[in-house]
């Protein structure tokens, strides 16, 4: 757009001229010298103002000059209250003459000559004379020269003595200006700003003076402004804003008048005659159609001034149609300069029309209008001009695209800002339903600039195709040729052929520069909208252009960042990546960027790229012809290039153990171009995480692979550990610095021919538990002229996980992460063995445990022992280590008893130590877990603790269980008498020394205990321990003879019986008392002799009581006459109460026996007494050999309470299930039956 003459495409904004403020130059100097002489000079006589206020006001107005503001979107412009282009003049303004003079020496016409504007084709001074249409000068006249408004600044003097004088001066000055203006013929409006000086005059006076001034000069009241003194900047701004808004309608009115005038002239329908009829040339004057175009164009411009874009567009359309009609452009001969002028006018109208469309939001129509104009002009040029097959047309096409780009850039379209990343706009509603061309969606300027560049290629091609004859300057070519050339080449707004593309390499049009300029602009537009790939494409195009210009440096600058991280490489657009690489390589070689050249050559070896036939593909020749300043060191980052060597390092197994080693394989595969030179890597370093830090494979020429199959070679490597020099301390092998790097090294042949696969198997020693994984790999190549390091990081899931079983056989490692091996902790080689371990331990037994700790490691191991006993209320236990004192655990907790960190000292290899754990007797049956934790270090690797744990379960059970029967017996002694004075205790006597005189009772305690142990136990003794209340004296004796050291088998029941005789201390005490007995068993395991004592509590018994009881006792007498024994049944009734009781006894006859004794009797019992009744029973049943039971029907009844008392059987008797007692009948003919012995009662 810049190529069009200045002012031809400027937006039309009303022109405001300020007059009378110091600082501005005089207006109108841009006027042509010829016109300046005739120009109307308007001069203000008043001194220019230079007060702060006047300057501030002017500054504000200037700041709001719309033509200087950056482009804004049409909506805010439409909302503006005023639009002005502002010019300033200090004292004078020069307006172009309204009428041109008659040319000198012209014959004065007969009638008074009709003089016309110097810009009109009617005037001879105009270049348009006699048949031109309109030119930029006319536009400039309205845009820059003739103001719509002149704003005069004056001071309103407040000094009353000078006020009138000054007012009159202003008046006369204004009248002068006004007069001059009207003389000039322009209808420029006049506005006045009066700035009050310091002293504020009275309001009325001022009003009067203003009125006076207004009337005196005939100024519109709206165009007179008074600025009070001492206003702040903001206030001034507000006033100026107000002023400009008020003035704007005046300006609009001015342009409306002009527009009306133009339309009126068009309406006349006749072509005006020039001042002087043309005599030269064709003597043709402008036709009516031409005049109509001129008037329409004027109307459109004036409408634009008024911001009436739709009206403007209509007028432009009219003008455009008229111009391109058969009456105008069709008839203008193409050799005439008017042809190009008309084309220019058509361009201007089209551009201004498109601009109006863009302002009106009709984007697609604008795009279509753009195409339409291009097509129309192409048609004209083809038919009437020099055709579209020459560089001139391409130049115009390119320009036409740039124009559109500029227009879009100049107009800020809402929703199309670069930051919104829109590529194109949706069509406006009107065009929505139509079948639109894709390009009719308005695209952003980047596309248009690119289009311009494309046309420039065409322009260059066409220019290059010109024959040499056409390219010679006209001075050196025959005249006939010059003439023919003029008809061949379109030179509309572009140079003649001999300037466009001169002979002899003289500088002509710099196409490259133009193309690069357009491409760069396009590129920035695409980058702004984040179309990175498109921008990259443009960079590539740019670089190609720069290659032609041999601007190598710029290419490297442009492409190097792109090459470093282009998406084409990672995304697999190899053809693009390749193109870019080759261009950059060429440029880098020229600039001497050796490192870049090597890196690109390295990448281009990859088979993915197309092979160039004439290329050496030998990395060592890469720098041939380049002499870098220093030896280049190329470092290739991960993913920076598409490496032709794919390297992977995988582990065979998923898990390994510390102290062992894992199988790993490094695979290097070359996918270089077939026929390229083999690459000899100097070393490959694999960085690992975990046990090993680095494995270095060094090249060795004579290290031949162990297996070879086709292109694959496989060898198992032996690695040796090298010390890292960087860490310094590592020279001492004994130093156990954990930070020390573990670096392994091996030699292999690392020469990679194209397509070759090198597989190197290694044993990676695993040291620490955790994970050992391959992290990255660096390949080093040292050639004669450069060093190259390629870094590659291993990533999970990238690359194939192929394990080479042999050179010909592979398998896929189907693991999630074959890059890593999980290192399990080193298995401890120290063992804890329980030596004397038993399944069961018994309560009340001290437990001694013995453990052997065996060191099966290869070296000595200092160890520590933790022992933890877990269970309910664990006891404090003791651990004994040889050569040390016993250590007891802390029994603080309820759940565990712990002993930590007991040092065992260093245990020698394959030696053992014995530790003892002693647990005190535990009273209850329970279960404990004894955990022994052994933490030890190997003297070779003291940093790594190794832990061995053993858990033992202690089952503690009761060895015995027992049940008990307390059977009443008849105490043989008579009861003391309540009435016996001897029984009365002297209260003064001490309790302890007197003999007990209370009631006595005898019982027999029968216990049956069983062994619940799992083995035979030796029972040393069984006894009872009696605890009584203080009021009772108890004496117990063992009835059954104790057999000491009796072996008790598991689950067998043993009996023990005890006689218990109890006596109350006093007779007076006849209350109940209790008896607590526990059974004490002294036992030992068969293996040991120390007896353990187990105490089994016997349920509590109740003795005595005041209730009467009836005891029965039986004894047998053997009569000589009869084999049957005679049974003497003694019924003893005890009355411990203080009452006199009467009992009735009745014995029922029975078939089982005969009896003698009272069948029915009554016994009276005194308080605290006992009486007995005796029966003799003779069993009737024929004698049994085994004995038997008889059931005497004896009933004892309390006479008073009518209550039957239970008869309690004693020895030789028992109760049946009804509660009646049975009496044992010993077998016949046997003497000395044991059953008789128990009776202590006899007749």
Judged by CB under 8 A, does residue 571 bind other proteins?
Answer: yes
Judged by CB under 8 A, does residue 1045 bind other proteins?
Answer: no
Least distance in angstroms from the C-beta of 568 to other proteins: 6
Judged by CB under 8 A, does residue 565 bind other proteins?
Answer: no
Least distance in angstroms from the C-beta of 223 to other proteins: 52
Q: Where are the alpha helices (DSSP H) in 698-753?
A: none
Q: Name the residue among 487, 813, 434 with its Cα closest to residue 653.
A: 813
Task: Report the alpha-carbon distance of residue 959 to residue 842 in Å, rounded.
Answer: 6
Among residues 138 and 416, whose Cβ is nearest to other proteins?
Answer: 416
Task: Report the alpha-carbon distance of residue 802 to residue 890 in Å, rounded.
Answer: 58
Task: Report the alpha-carbon distance of residue 601 to residue 606 in Å, rounded.
Answer: 9
Distances (CA, A) of 129 to 272, 366, 581, 947: 13, 34, 60, 112
Reported for 368-377, long-range contacts at CB under 8 A and 24+ positions apart, including other chains, are: 368/431, 368/437, 368/440, 370/400, 370/404, 371/437, 371/439, 371/440, 373/346, 373/347, 373/400, 374/400, 376/324, 376/346, 377/343, 377/346, 377/347
Q: Are 699 and 682 in contact (CB under 8 A)?
A: yes
Q: How many CA atoms lie within 13 A of 787 on its CB side?
A: 8
Phi and psi at residue 826, to the nearest 5°: -65, 130
Of 441, 457, 975, 1189, which lies in the binding site for other proteins, with binding defined by CB under 8 A? 441
Among residues 285 and 364, whose Cβ is nearest to other proteins?
Answer: 364
Least distance in angstroms from the C-beta of 532 to other proteins: 6
Q: Are 969 and 1004 in contact (CB under 8 A)?
A: yes
Of 91, 443, 826, 1018, which lies in the binding site for other proteins, with binding defined by CB under 8 A? 443
Least distance in angstroms from the C-beta of 441 to other proteins: 6
Going by DSSP bridges, is the β-strand pair 912-919/847-855 parallel, antiparallel, or unpaired?
antiparallel
* Burial label, 282 (beta-carbon count in 10 A; 0-12, 13-18, 19+): exposed
Tokens coding 498: 């001999």
Among residues 167 and 440, whose Cβ is nearest to other proteins?
Answer: 440
Binding residues for other proteins restricted to 362-421, rule: CB under 8 A: 371, 421
Of 162, 245, 283, 796, which lies in the binding site for other proteins, with binding defined by CB under 8 A? 796
Among residues 577 and 597, whose Cβ is nearest to other proteins?
Answer: 577
Tokens coding 13: 């904004």
Least distance in angstroms from the C-beta of 801 to other proteins: 13
Among the listed ranges 678-686, 735-743, 790-798, 869-877, the one in contact with other proteins (CB under 8 A) is 790-798
Judged by CB under 8 A, does residue 424 bind other proteins?
Answer: yes
Task: Report the alpha-carbon distance of residue 382 to residue 1198 in Å, rounded.
Answer: 155
Binding residues for other proteins restricted to 445-464, rule: CB under 8 A: 447, 450-451, 454
Of 168, 575, 910, 949, which lies in the binding site for other proteins, with binding defined by CB under 8 A? 575
Judged by CB under 8 A, does residue 952 bind other proteins?
Answer: no
Judged by CB under 8 A, does residue 225 bind other proteins?
Answer: no
Least distance in angstroms from the C-beta of 799 to other proteins: 9
Of 435, 629, 993, 1217, which lies in the binding site for other proteins, with binding defined by CB under 8 A? 435
Judged by CB under 8 A, does residue 709 bind other proteins?
Answer: no
Judged by CB under 8 A, does residue 987 bind other proteins?
Answer: no
Least distance in angstroms from the C-beta of 385 to other proteins: 19
Judged by CB under 8 A, does residue 524 bind other proteins?
Answer: no
Examine residue 130 and say whether the peptide bond preceding it is cis (omega within 30 degrees of 0). Answer: yes
Among residues 252 and 402, whose Cβ is nearest to other proteins?
Answer: 402
Least distance in angstroms from the C-beta of 777 to other proteins: 17
Residue pointed to by tokens 């952003």: 444
Judged by CB under 8 A, does residue 572 bind other proteins?
Answer: yes
Of 304, 490, 537, 1241, which lies in the binding site for other proteins, with binding defined by CB under 8 A? 537
Among the listed ranges 192-200, 280-288, 795-803, 881-889, the one in contact with other proteins (CB under 8 A) is 795-803
Of 48, 172, 439, 838, which lies in the binding site for other proteins, with binding defined by CB under 8 A? 439
Among the listed ranges 272-280, 443-451, 1000-1008, 1167-1175, the one in contact with other proteins (CB under 8 A) is 443-451
Of 80, 163, 436, 824, which lies in the binding site for other proteins, with binding defined by CB under 8 A? 436
Going by DSSP bridges, is the β-strand pair 85-89/15-19 parallel, antiparallel, or unpaired?
parallel
Among residues 12 and 388, whose Cβ is nearest to other proteins?
Answer: 388
# binding residues, other proteins (CB under 8 A): 38
Of 70, 726, 733, 797, which lies in the binding site for other proteins, with binding defined by CB under 8 A? 797
Of 434, 858, 908, 965, which lies in the binding site for other proteins, with binding defined by CB under 8 A? 434
Among the listed ranges 61-69, 532-540, 709-717, 1135-1143, the one in contact with other proteins (CB under 8 A) is 532-540
Q: Are 297 and 350 in contact (CB under 8 A)?
A: no
Task: Report the alpha-carbon distance of residue 1165 to residue 1175 in Å, rounded.
Answer: 19
Distances (CA, A) of 110 to 102, 284, 586, 674: 13, 21, 78, 97
Tokens coding 982: 């001897």
Of 153, 291, 568, 1083, which lies in the binding site for other proteins, with binding defined by CB under 8 A? 568
Judged by CB under 8 A, does residue 815 bind other proteins?
Answer: no
Q: Are 844 and 865 in contact (CB under 8 A)?
A: no
Give per-residue burial for 555-577: e unless 16+ CB within 10 Å, then b. Answer: bbebbeebbeebebbeeeebebb
Q: How many other CB atoms are there within 10 angstroms of residue 129's CB atom?
A: 23
Among the listed ranges 223-231, 434-442, 902-910, 1224-1232, the one in contact with other proteins (CB under 8 A) is 434-442
Of 123, 509, 531, 712, which lies in the binding site for other proteins, with binding defined by CB under 8 A? 531
Least distance in angstroms from the C-beta of 627 to other proteins: 33
DSSP 453-493: HHHHHHHHHHHHTS-HHHHS-GGGS-HHHHHHHHHHS--TT
Of 304, 440, 551, 768, which lies in the binding site for other proteins, with binding defined by CB under 8 A? 440
Among residues 397 and 747, whose Cβ is nearest to other proteins?
Answer: 397
Least distance in angstroms from the C-beta of 642 to other proteins: 9
Q: Name the residue among 122, 201, 102, 101 with its Cα closest to residue 157.
A: 201
Site string for other proteins, 327-366 (x = CB under 8 A): ----------------------------------------
**By the criterion CB under 8 A, which residues form the site for other proteins?**
371, 421, 423-424, 434-441, 443, 447, 450-451, 454, 529-534, 537, 540, 567-568, 570-573, 575-576, 579, 795-798
């Amino acid at each position: 757009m810049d190529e069009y003459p200045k002012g031809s495409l400027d937006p039309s904004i009303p022109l405001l001229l300020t007059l009378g403020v110091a600082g501005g130059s005089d207006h109108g100097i841009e006027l042509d010298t010829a016109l300046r002489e005739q120009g109307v000079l308007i001069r203000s006589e008043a001194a220019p103002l230079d007060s702060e206020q006047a300057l501030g006001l002017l500054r504000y107005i200037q700041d709001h000059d719309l033509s200087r503001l950056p482009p804004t979107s049409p909506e805010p412009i439409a909302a503006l209250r005023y639009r002005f282009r502002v010019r300033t003049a200090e004292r004078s303004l020069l307006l172009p003459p309204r009428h041109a003079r008659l040319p000198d020496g012209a014959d004065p016409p007969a009638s008074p000559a009709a003089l016309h504007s110097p810009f009109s084709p009617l005037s001879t001074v105009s270049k348009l004379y006699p048949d031109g249409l309109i030119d930029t000068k006319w536009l400039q006249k309205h845009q820059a020269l003739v103001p719509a408004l002149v704003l005069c600044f004056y001071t309103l003097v407040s000094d009353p003595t000078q006020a009138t004088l000054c007012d009159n001066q202003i008046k006369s000055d204004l009248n002068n200006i006004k007069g001059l203006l009207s003389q000039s013929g322009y209808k420029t409006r006049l506005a006045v700003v009066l700035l009050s000086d310091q002293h504020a005059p009275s309001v009325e006076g001022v009003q009067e003076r203003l009125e006076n001034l207004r009337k005196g000069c005939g100024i519109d009241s709206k165009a007179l402004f008074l600025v009070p003194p001492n206003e702040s900047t903001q206030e001034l701004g507000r006033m100026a804003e107000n002023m400009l808004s008020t003035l704007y309608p005046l300006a609009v009115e001015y342009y409306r008048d002009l527009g009306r005038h133009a339309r009126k002239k068009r309406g006349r329908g006749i072509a005006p005659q020039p001042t002087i009829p043309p005599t030269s040339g064709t003597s043709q004057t402008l036709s009516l159609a031409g005049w109509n175009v001129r008037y329409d164009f004027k109307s459109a411009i004036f409408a634009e001034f008024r911001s009436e874009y739709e009206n403007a567009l209509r007028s432009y359309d009219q003008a455009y149609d008229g111009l391109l009609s058969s009456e105008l452009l069709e008839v203008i001969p193409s050799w005439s300069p008017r042809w190009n002028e008309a084309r220019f006018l058509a361009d201007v109208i089209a551009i201004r029309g498109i601009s109006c469309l863009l302002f009106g939001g009709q984007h697609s129509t604008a795009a279509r209008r753009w195409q339409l104009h291009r097509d129309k002009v192409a048609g004209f040029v083809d038919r009437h001009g020099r055709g579209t097959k020459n560089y001139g047309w391409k130049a115009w096409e390119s320009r036409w695209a740039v124009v559109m780009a500029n227009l879009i850039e100049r107009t800020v379209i809402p929703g199309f800002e670069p930051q919104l990343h829109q590529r194109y706009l949706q069509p406006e509603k009107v065009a929505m339903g139509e079948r639109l061309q894709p390009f009719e969606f308005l695209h952003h300027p980047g596309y248009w600039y690119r289009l311009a560049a494309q046309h420039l290629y065409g322009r260059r091609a066409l220019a290059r195709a010109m024959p040499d004859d056409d390219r010679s300057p006209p001075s050196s070519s025959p005249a006939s040729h010059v003439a023919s050339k003029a008809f061949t080449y379109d030179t509309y707004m572009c140079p003649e052929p001999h300037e466009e593309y001169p002979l002899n390499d003289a500088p002509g049009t710099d196409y490259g520069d133009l193309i690069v300029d357009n491409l760069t602009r396009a590129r920035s537009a695409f980058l702004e909208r984040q179309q990175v790939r498109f921008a990259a494409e443009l960079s590539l195009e740019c670089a190609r252009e720069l290659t032609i210009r041999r601007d190598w440096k710029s290419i490297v600058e442009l492409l190097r960042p792109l090459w470093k991280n282009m998406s084409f490489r990672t995304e697999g657009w190899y053809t693009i990546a390749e193109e870019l690489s080759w261009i950059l390589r060429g440029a880098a070689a020229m600039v001497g960027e050796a490192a870049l050249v090597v890196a690109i050559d390295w990448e281009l070896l990859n088979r993915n790229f197309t092979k160039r036939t004439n290329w050496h593909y030998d990395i060592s020749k890469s720098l041939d012809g380049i002499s870098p300043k220093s030896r280049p060191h190329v470092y290739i980052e991960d993913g920076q290039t598409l490496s032709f060597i794919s390297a992977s390092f995988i582990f065979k197994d998923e898990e390994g153990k510390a102290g062992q080693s894992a199988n790993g394989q490094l695979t290097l595969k070359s996918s270089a171009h077939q026929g390229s030179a083999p690459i000899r890597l100097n070393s490959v370093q694999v960085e690992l995480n975990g046990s090993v830090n680095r494995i270095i494979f060094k090249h060795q020429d004579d290290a031949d692979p162990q297996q070879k199959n086709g292109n694959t070679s496989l060898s198992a490597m032996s690695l040796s550990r090298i010390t890292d020099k960087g860490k310094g301390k590592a020279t001492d092998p004994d130093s156990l610095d954990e930070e020390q790097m573990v670096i392994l090294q091996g030699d292999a042949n690392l020469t990679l021919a194209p397509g070759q696969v090198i597989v190197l198997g290694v044993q990676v020693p695993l040291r620490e538990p955790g994970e050992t994984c391959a992290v990255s790999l660096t390949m080093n190549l040292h050639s004669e002229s450069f060093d190259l390091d390629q870094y590659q990081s291993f990533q999970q899931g990238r690359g194939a996980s192929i394990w080479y079983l042999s050179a010909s056989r592979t398998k896929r490692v189907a693991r999630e992460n074959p890059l890593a091996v999980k290192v399990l902790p080193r298995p401890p080689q120290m063992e804890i063995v329980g030596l004397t371990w038993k399944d069961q331990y018994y309560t009340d037994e001290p437990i001694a445990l013995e453990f052997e700790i065996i060191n099966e490691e290869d070296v000595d191991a200092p160890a520590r022992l933790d022992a933890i006993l877990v269970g309910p209320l664990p006891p404090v236990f003791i651990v004994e280590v040889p050569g040390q004192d016993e250590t007891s655990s802390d029994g603080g907790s309820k759940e565990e008893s712990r002993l930590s960190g007991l040092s065992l000292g260093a245990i020698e290899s394959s030696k053992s130590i014995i530790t003892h754990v002693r647990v005190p007797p535990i009273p209850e049956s329970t279960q404990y877990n004894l955990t022994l934790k052994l933490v030890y270090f190997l003297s070779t690797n003291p940093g790594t603790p190794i832990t061995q744990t053993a858990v033992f379960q202690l089952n503690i059970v009761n060895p015995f269980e027992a049940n008990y029967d307390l059977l009443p017996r008849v105490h043989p002694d008579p009861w003391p008498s309540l009435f016996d004075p001897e029984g009365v205790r002297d209260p003064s006597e001490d309790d302890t020394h007197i003999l007990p005189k209370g009631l006595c009772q005898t019982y027999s305690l029968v216990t049956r205990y069983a062994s619940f142990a799992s083995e035979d136990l030796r029972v040393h003794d069984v006894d009872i321990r009696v605890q009584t209340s203080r009021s009772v004296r108890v004496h117990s004796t063992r009835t059954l003879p104790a057999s000491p050291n009796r072996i008790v088998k598991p689950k067998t029941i043993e009996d023990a019986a005890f006689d218990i005789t109890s006596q109350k201390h006093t007779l007076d005490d006849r209350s109940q008392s209790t008896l607590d007995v526990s059974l004490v068993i002294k036992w030992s395991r068969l293996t040991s002799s120390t007896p353990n004592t187990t105490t089994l509590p016997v349920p509590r018994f109740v003795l005595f009581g005041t209730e009467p009881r009836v005891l029965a006792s039986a004894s047998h007498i053997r009569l000589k006459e009869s084999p049957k024994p005679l049974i003497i049944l003694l019924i003893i009734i005890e009355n411990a109460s203080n009452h006199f009781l009467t009992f009735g006894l009745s014995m029922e006859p029975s078939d089982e026996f005969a009896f003698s004794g009272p069948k029915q009797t009554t016994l009276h019992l005194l308080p605290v007494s006992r009486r007995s009744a005796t029966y003799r029973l003779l069993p009737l049943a024929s004698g049994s050999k085994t004995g038997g039971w008889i059931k005497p029907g004896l009933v004892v009844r309390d006479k008073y309470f009518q209550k039957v008392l239970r008869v309690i059987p004693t020895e030789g008797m028992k109760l049946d299930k009804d509660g009646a007692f049975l009496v044992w009948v010993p077998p016949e003919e046997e003497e000395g039956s044991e059953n008789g012995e128990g009776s202590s009662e006899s007749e």
